[in-house]
Amino acid sequence: MRNLRIVILVVLIMFMFMAACSSEKTTETYSMIIVSGEENISETFVKYVGKTVIEYQHLTSLKVAQEKYPKYDIEKAPAILIFKDNGGELKKLVLKTYDIEEAKEWLENNK
C-alpha cells in the first residue's frame, strides 16, 4: 500500500512538472508568400527567415500566384501574405498587404 502511494505521488509530480513546462511562452512562427512581380523584393525579407519566419515562398509571377492561391484574391504585385503557423499544415492568414514597409514593420513587431 505504501508503494502505491509513492507511485501515485511520483505520477502527480510528473504531471505537475509537464503542465508547468507546457505553459512556457513559445515564440510565434510564421510562413510567408512573397509575390514580387518584376521587382525582386525577396532580399528585403531574408533577415526574418529562420527564427520568426520558418517557411517562405517567393513567386515572381502574379499570374502564377493567382492560379496557385485563388482563395487569397491576390490583386497585384508586390504582395506579401503572412500566415501564423499552428504547428501543422493549418495556417491562418494574419496579414495581406501590397506595402513592403507595412510587412517589414509587422514582422519587426511580431518577432
Report the chain's mean pLDDT, rounded to a whole number.
82
Separation CA 50–CA 44 (nearest Å): 14
Higher local confidence (pLDDT), 43 or 90? 43
What's the pLDDT tens digit per position in 20-42?
555 455 678 899 999 998 888 88
Beta strands 30-35 and 53-59 are: parallel
pLDDT exceeds cutoff 90 at 85: no
Q: Average pLDDT in the 37-51 region?
A: 85
Gap between the Cα atoms of 91 and 24, Å rounded? 22
User: Helix, strand, or coil here: 89?
Assistant: coil
Q: What angle do CA 77, 80, 82 make, to 5 degrees?
A: 160
CA dist., res. 87 & res. 84, Å (int): 9
Per-residue pLDDT, averaged over 51-70, amounts to 91
